[in-house]
Amino acid sequence: MNSQNIIIRNSLKIYLSIVLFFFLMKLFKLEQLTELRLLNFVFVFWGINSAVKKNIYINNNINYLQNLFIGFATSLLAVILLIFSLTIYLFYINPSFIHVIENLKIWGNHLTPIEIAFAIFTEGISSSIVISFILMQFWKGYKIPNRSSI
């Protein structure tokens, strides 16, 4: 499997997990609890780890920088998809949701969808970099077993 397929598949896993979680929070009227947003990191961690793991096991690629790039690219694509979806959601589906975001006290008042998108992009990229580096500390010591000795 080439690295582009790994990145796309795992980005979609992250994206769909976060979107599903968002709608579950909305369904149970929990969207005002910012603490639940921390679970998004679990989804990002899971997706990046899955991407790096697949690249190591399927492609037999243990190159640190290439795997770091795959982890970062996976999360970057997921963040871009999430921002695009959130912008559509705020502009067309539920424009009043912006008031829920403003009432969270961590964002401020009088927000525009573009400001929210920029803040989420910054937050998403920052967490993606950190999670990618954390996971690479685990995977950097992995050695591919010699197939002749198996």
Mean pLDDT of the region 86-113:
79
Cβ neighbours for 48, distance < 8 A, ≥ 6 positions apart: 10, 14, 71, 74, 75, 128, 131, 132, 135
Domain boundaries, the chain: 3-142
Q: What is the pLDDT of residues 52-82, one digit of tens each?
A: 999 999 999 999 999 999 999 999 999 999 9
Residue 37, SS3 per DSSP: helix
pTM of the predicted structure, to 2 decimals: 0.87
Residue 82 CB-density burial (10 A; 0-12 exposed, 13-18 middle, 19+ buried)? buried
> How confident is the prediction for the chain on average, in pLDDT?
88
